[in-house]
Each structure stands twice: as C-alpha cells, then as structure tokens.
Amino acid sequence: MLHLGIELGSTRIKAILADSEKNYNAVASGWFNWENRFEDGFWTYSLESALEGVKEAYTQLAKNYKNETGNSLTDIHSIGISAMMHGYLPFNKSGNLLTPFRTWRNTTTEKSATILTQLFDFNIPQRWSIAHLYQAILNKETHVSEIDFLTTLAGYVHWQLTGEKVLGIGDASGMFPVDPVDDEGEKFSYDKVKQGKFEELTGVKLDDILPKILNAGDYAGKLTDSGAKILDPTGELKAGIPFCPPEGDAGTGMVATNSVAPRTGNISAGTSIFAMLVMEKPLSKVYTEIDIVTTPTGKPVAMVHCNSCTSDIDAWVQLFGEVSELMGADFDRNTLYEKLYLKALDGASDGGGMVNYNFYSGEPVAGVTDGCPLFFRKPDSQMNLANFMRVQLYSAMATLKLGMALLEKEGVTVDSLLGHGGLFKVKGVGQKLIASALNTPIDVMDSAGEGGAWGIALLSAFASQKQVDPSISLSLEDFLINSVFSDNSARREKPNPSDVVGFESFMDRYTKALPVVINACSV
C-alpha cells in the first residue's frame, strides 16, 4: 500500500510516497522550490504559491513513480499534509484570507507575547498564532472582527484538499496551549482555563475560530473532487482517499526520527534550527526561551526554536561560488558545499578567535529583535578558510545552545539526539560539531534525509492502520519501532573533548559580544 506525505517547508515543498510493503521506505519523491518574501514589514508566502507548489511536487512525484515502475499513480491508500508551524492565517466567512500570511519568522508580536505569557503563566512565543492574533487586536487592525477561521499552513492546505477545518494536536499546540486530555480523559482540547482568560481579555470566542484538534491515528476527512483537481489536474488521481490529521514540521520531524517517546529527542536544522525533547515531567518554571508543545499523540515536549540556522551559511557559500566562477572554476553547488563544510573540520576548535551571528531575522532566544547577520574578528584572530567555515557552522548552533543549557539545568535529559535537515547533509560534519557543541551524542539515521514529508506519510499510514480495525490498541511508538525502524541503522557521533572545550570558548566570545549585535540591529 502506498502512503503520500506532503510537507511545505521554508524553502521546499516536498512530496514522498512510502510503501508499506517495503518497510515504509520512500519509493518516489517530488518537490517544488519556493522562498519567503519580506513585504510591508512581514515575512510571507502567497497561498497561491503554496497550492501551486503542492501540485508541482505531486506532479513530479507521480512522474518519477511512473518512470520507476511503469505504472500511473492512481492507487494511494492515505495522504497527510505537514507544514511550517505557527504563524497567522485568518479567513472570513467566505474563505478569503484577511491579511497576507504572517509566518513563524516574524518577530512583530513582542508586546502581545509578553502580555499573554504573564496572563497564562505559560510561555507564548512571538511565533505562535495566538500572539499574532492578540497583536492584531492591540494594533486595532480592522480585519479582526471579520475572522471566521484561524489556522496554520498545514491546516489551510488540508482544508483545501478535504474541506475539513481540523489540526493535529502537535500543530495545534503551537497555535494555543493545549490540554492533552479533557475532563472525560478521552479527547484533546485547547487549555480551557487559558482560553477563558483570553476570551475575558479580548471578547474573542476561540472555539468559534480555532481548528478542531485531532490525535495521531484519527480520521481527518477524505480527498474531495476539488482537492483531487488541486493535486492532479490530469484527473488520474481520484477523490475519496482518507487523510490523517495535518501536522506541523516539528511533529513530523519527530516521527521521521522515531523521537516520540519520553527520553527521546531530535534536532531539525535547516533554515531554522530547533530541538524537540519529549519530557518525563513538567519544567519547574516558565522559560521564555522554551516552548511547551506536544508530540502528535499529545505527550509534552520542550522545544527550543531558533529562527536562523543555515541562511547565513548559504549566503557565504554563494559568495565563494561567485569568486570561484570569476576564476573560471567548473563545479556544481553541492560539491562546493561539501568541500567548504569538510574544510571546517580542519579549523581550530575555538574557530580561531573569530565570532559570527547568523540572524537573518529577529532571534528571541538571543534577545535580538531584528535581522542583522554580523561577522567580526580581532586583529590577532586566526583568519583562514577552515576557521571561517567552522565559525559559520558554530554560529548556526549557538542560539540552540543557549536554550539547551536551560533544559540541562532543569534536568531534562535524553539518551541521544537524532539529527535531520540541511545542516547534516554533508556526512559527519554538522553532526560531529553539534555533538560537541551540545556535549551530547548525535545520531543520524539513513532515512533522516527524507524529513517531515516522510514523517507525515508515516502518520497517514498509522491512521490508515487504525481505521482498518479501531479495536486494535496500536500506539504510534509501537508502530514506528516495530513496522518502520526495526532495521533502520543510525550513525553516531560522540562529543570530541577538544571540540567541546573549543566550542565553550567560542560561546564565551559569542555571549560577551551579543550587545554589539543588538546595537547594530537597531541602527
């Protein structure tokens, strides 16, 4: 049986087809590249591009599948949609978007996030949908009175394909705080106490506008005729295929790395970088640097989310590529990345005394409100290519280290961390350095490169199994361990003692010079 997963990431929309007869391995894929834009003070994507990208990714997947098998792709057993979490997508009763999509990357809600964090005694990051909504209320934006439905990007695409206004609990927990179990001990819901406080503060009835919460394994609707035409205008794909609940990229990354049980965790490192640690007990207090969200089955997760990771590295690689082309070199971009990443391993363990900040947008974990990438060094710094590249990679991990240090003090521990995303594409480099940066073993699975699109395909397969026989008590953890990852090997990198000390020296410079960046960003 074939299970389709589509994830809308920050730079790529990816479609994966997983085959249950091949241990749910990916048998075909397709993708569509897209970029966010900074317009009128907000980072945004157009929803037209989102649907166009979903279609193009599916079209490419279907073409690749036919090239591989000789068969047209008509028999899909289940579908799942995943996307970047958080953000602000308000719609009116006619289904029209009331403002351009305000993504997770925006840091324009500091006032509302601060007020709500104090009101709830629970951290509300600037990225969360409720922070965007309350900021719009504080700003007296006229569209607020017209809101009929507020959702995430995954929730929007799912709605367009199925007609259902629902959301998986992991994605919902990044819109508004959730109660994992309600008074009957059976269903998930938004936190009723906090919901009451918000409604008393604003008069907005959240039950009227937020998506219904579903658990992993629940039935979440089926592909409609109009949805089938969005995915496949050729008409080969037929309506009626069941969907699992739409989920956020954090949750699908956890599934793709088998990190959904207590004492497991993963790091996703691409345009942004974040760590997800499944907790055994609550934190002792509120930390504004740490989100509390959930797994796709509602288990509490400590999330350290940093807005910037590889974008600054990409810019420098682009510059080095231009220099190489100027000198007449013949190379492909992937080779350039590989050689520059590997060169970082030749650098001094502390980066040669240099320091870099990769802030393409505001970074609340570091106290930076606006984007302002900055590299600087002292005259006696050891300026060479190896040290420069090591410092670039260190910079991509530095803000994550700030948040993870708080969890370490809280006693939140995991046996190891699973890494996936662009930072780990060059084998052994990002994995080796981040193991030393966090002083924790880092595993990378052979399948980790498939990412969240594969993760949501697995969630759709899990829901499919649950629907066949609802009486079977099958947990997501058991499904992943026994059906998906039983033969999946992982490469482990342990912390290198000299690199651990070197990164600590880098972080000492990094934290001492942060005021320079904060001042520079305000110019």
Confidence of residue 396 (pLDDT cuts 50, 70, 90): very high
Residue 357 belongs to what H/E stretch? Answer: strand 355-357
Q: How close are the terminal C-alpha atoms of the chain, in Å? A: 57
pLDDT for 516: 85
Q: Per-residue pLDDT tens for 268-282?
A: 888 889 899 999 888
* All domains of the chain in start order, with CATH: 2-257+457-484 (3.30.420.40), 311-447+492-521 (3.30.420.40)
Query: What is the residue-wise DSSP string for 243-254?
Result: BPPPEEHHHHHH
pLDDT for 75: 87
Q: Per-residue pLDDT tens for 63-73?
A: 999 998 998 89
Share of the chain above pLDDT 90, in %: 74
Arithmetic mean of pLDDT, 278-295: 92
pLDDT for 389: 97
Arithmetic mean of pLDDT, 332-346: 94
Q: Per-residue pLDDT tens for 495-511?
A: 999 999 999 999 999 99
pLDDT for 448: 55
Share of the chain above pLDDT 70, in %: 97
Residue 122 has pLDDT above 90, yes or no: yes
Arithmetic mean of pLDDT, 125-129: 95
Mean pLDDT of all residues belonging to the chain: 92
Arithmetic mean of pLDDT, 53-71: 95
Arithmetic mean of pLDDT, 300-322: 93
Give the list of residues 6+ apart from residue 198 with CB closer than 8 angstroms, or none: 116, 119, 130, 134, 176, 204, 206
Which of 201-210, 251-260, 304-313, 359-368 is the most confident on average? 201-210
Q: Per-residue pLDDT tens for 174-230?
A: 999 998 654 444 567 999 999 999 999 999 999 999 999 999 999 999 999 999 999
The beta strands (E) that lie in 9-141 are given as 12-19, 25-33, 37-39, 42-44, 78-83, 89-91
Of 274, 267, 317, 263, the residue nearest 431 (C-alpha): 267
- Helices and strands, number each (H, E), in the chain: 17, 22
pTM (2 d.p.): 0.86
Of residues 487 and 208, which shows the higher confidence score?
208
Residue 61 has pLDDT above 70, yes or no: yes
